[in-house]
Amino acid sequence: MLAFDIELASVVEIPAGGDLDQLGPFDLAVAAARDDRGGSWTWHGIESGLPAPKMSASDARAVLVALREAQIRGEQVVAWNGVGFDLKWLGAAAGDAHLAGEVALDTFDPMLQIFHGRGFPIALAAAAEGLGVSLKKSMHGAEAPKAWARGEHARVIEYVQGDCQLTLEVAQRIVAKKSVRWITKKGTPATEPMARLLSARELLRLPPPDQSWMSTPIPRERFFAWIPPTLLR
């Protein structure tokens, strides 16, 4: 299993009730991956021997190539909201939605799987708490672009690597327990059976979730609309 994550270079102020994803496209600062054998990788641009303010198209494409090669080798590539966010913006930054779409369809995204089961997504931190993962986020995600712009590169790299490790541990516990448990916004525990992790390709074959009880449901198409239609046939 290999988990990956990205951090933005764009400093974005999200209005109350706003949606970060609707404010893109974004510049990217750094991407990272960790596997269950102790391997770790970090990608970012270099300028004058230091991390660059943002990743170039070739930097972003290098991440996609590495992830696709891992999938072809048989690695179970995992990301939390990776299909609807990380890979969407990696593809945009790389100028290669086709390659990003290929990676996305073979990615295992537990958050997307929970969405298919319950009709709504949950935060990684809520799942980590519910599953008893002791590792905590070292900063709020909105702080990372500001820290990167201030030159606090090591701190942001540590943060993105930590999120990869957190994703990895959460996914491993889901596999071991065959369910996911999280803490709701009301502070109560909730559980969803998950006999095995499903790839995004497998999730697309399922019916959309029942959201008839919701006043403002998130449409499933939001997660997949960026993927080239030729890959969705």
CATH of the domain at 60: 3.30.420.10
Average pLDDT (163-176) is 97
Does 13 reside within a domain?
A: no
Q: How far apart are CA 226 and CA 233, in angstroms?
A: 14
Does 17 reside within a domain?
A: no
Range of the domain at 83: 2-8+24-206+218-225
What tens digit of pLDDT does each residue of 182-192 get?
Answer: 999 899 999 99
Does 56 reside within a domain?
A: yes
Does 233 reside within a domain?
A: no
**Model pLDDT, residue 87:** 98
**81 in Cβ contact with 121 (< 8 Å):** yes
Does 201 reside within a domain?
A: yes
What tens digit of pLDDT does each residue of 68-120 get?
Answer: 999 999 999 999 999 999 999 999 999 999 999 999 999 999 999 999 999 99
Average pLDDT (208-222) is 95
**34 in Cβ contact with 164 (< 8 Å):** yes
Does 67 reside within a domain?
A: yes
Q: How far apart are CA 79 and CA 61, in angstroms?
A: 17
Residues β-bridged to residue 7: 30
Judged on CB neighbours under 10 Å (0-12, 13-18, 19+), 218 is middle
Average pLDDT (164-172) is 97
Does 231 reside within a domain?
A: no
**Model pLDDT, residue 24:** 80
Predicted TM-score (pTM) of this structure: 0.94
Does 213 reside within a domain?
A: no
**Model pLDDT, residue 17:** 67
| Phi and psi at residue 191, to the nearest 5° | -135, 145
Say how many domains are in the chain.
1
